[in-house]
Amino acid sequence: MTAIDTIRNDVTNLSETEQVAYLNLLKQQIAELEASTSQESTGLFRTVIAVEVLSQGVDPSDMSLAEIEYEMTEGSFSGITYTQSIQVVSQDEMARLLSNQGSDASFFFPEYDSNEDN
């Protein structure tokens, strides 16, 4: 399935107002991505993706993403994903973001010294 097919499927179940808002969001994200890639790209990205789930009788808040995805595609949930933002980040910013998630910068950068003053 191509990205266009995915977007078409995502948009099909939205109202006309939601479709316009969704397309405007996509335009904004494309502009941001073009602006960020016009700079020297580090190849490091921070992407925020939201999942909207509609369910009956089941609270998915304690489920893993894999379980939610299964329920959305094979089970009893209806859902949609949105890419909320995409950012190109520097190595130092990625190290900070990894730390915020409880990971170490060596996850991506084996040579990274977390004791350096940045």
The HSE-up count of residue 80 (CA atoms within 13 Å, CB side) is 15
Q: Cα(2)–Cα(26) distance, rounded to whole angstroms?
A: 16
- State the virtual CA torsion across 105, 64, 53, 74 in degrees, nearest 10: 130
pTM for this predicted structure:
0.57
Residue of 53, 42, 101, 110 lying closest to 76 (CA atoms): 53
Angle at 102 between CA 96 and CA 107, to 5 degrees: 70
User: At 43, is the secondary structure helix, strand, or coil?
Assistant: coil
Mean pLDDT to the nearest integer, 26-43: 69
The residues facing 83 across adjacent strands are: 49
pLDDT per residue as tens digits for the range 42-87: 789 999 999 999 999 999 999 999 999 999 999 999 999 999 988 8
For the chain, what are the domain ranges? 3-102
